[in-house]
Amino acid sequence: MYLVLVRHGESVWNKENRFTGWTDVDLSKKGIEEAEKAGKLLKDEEIDFNISYTSLLKRANDTLKYILDELNINPIIKRTYKLNERHYGALQGLNKDETKEKYGEEQVKLWRRSYDVRPPELSLDDLRHPANDIKYQSIPKEELPLSESLKDTYKRVVEYYLDEVKPHLEKENVLIVAHGNSLRALIKYLENISDEDIVNLEIPTGVPIVFKLDGDLNIVEKRIL
C-alpha cells in the first residue's frame, strides 16, 4: 500500500511571512502552481486513490482539488479539523519578522520550533477564536484550541490517523493533503522521530512524500517527489 502526504501549496500568508495557523487563507498564485505540479508528479506514479483526507482549511482543500483535477479522479474526500495546521494562538496574523523584533528571536524560535511550548493563547472573546467560525460549530467549544504546541497537534493528528486512516491503509492507498505541522506530527509518529529531532524536520509546500508500506504498515520505502 501507499500513503502519500502533501503539504498545501504556498498560501498568501506564507508569502507574506505571517503566522497562519487556523486562519483560513487562500493559496497564492505560486501555491496553485505547486498544487498542479504535485498532481502531475503523482499522475506519473500511477497510484490509485479511492479515498483522501484533508483539513477544514481551504488552502489544503484547494490543493487537494488541484491534485485530483490533474489525476482526473474523484475519490471519497474526508475533511476534519484534526488535520488542521497547528493553532498559533495570539500570534496568528502577525508577521514573523516583526514578532521577532517585538519578543526576541530566541522566544519566537521557542514558540515555532520547540515540541511542547505553546505560543500565547487567544483570549476567549477574541474574534479569531475558532468558536466564531461556522466550520467548527458542531465541535464542543472546550475541544477548540486557544493555542497549540506541536505536541498538542501530534495528539489530535495521531489519534485521527489510528482511528480513521489506518484501517483504510490496511486495504487501500491513501492520500492526505494537510499542513506543515500536522504532517510533521504524523511523520514523527510514522518514522518514530524523537521530540528533539522533530524540530529539524522541514516539509516544503506542494511536494508529495510517498511512503510504500508492507502488510503490517511498516515503511518499506520513502520518496520525496
Which residue's entry shows cell 518514530?
192
- Of the chain, the end-to-end C-alpha distance in Å amounts to 17
Which residues, listed in sequence order, are joined to residue 213 by a DSSP beta bridge? 219
| 85 belongs to the catalytic site | yes
Q: Cα–Cα distance between 80 and 56 in angstroms, integer?
A: 6
93 φ, ψ to 5°?
A: 95, -15
Length of the chain, in residues: 225
Catalytic residue among 34, 85, 87, 148: 85
Edge-to-edge strands, sheet with 219-224: 76-79, 51-54, 174-178, 2-7, 209-213, 219-224
Cβ atoms within 10 A of the Cβ of 134, count? 6
| 168 belongs to the catalytic site | no
In terms of Cα–Cα distance, which of 11, 49, 78, 76 is closest to 169?
49
Cell of 212: 510504500
**205 neighbors 7 (Cβ within 8 angstroms):** yes
**Alpha-carbon torsion (26, 184, 36, 50), positive or negative:** negative
Cβ atoms within 10 A of the Cβ of 151, count? 17
The residues annotated as belonging to the active site are 8, 85
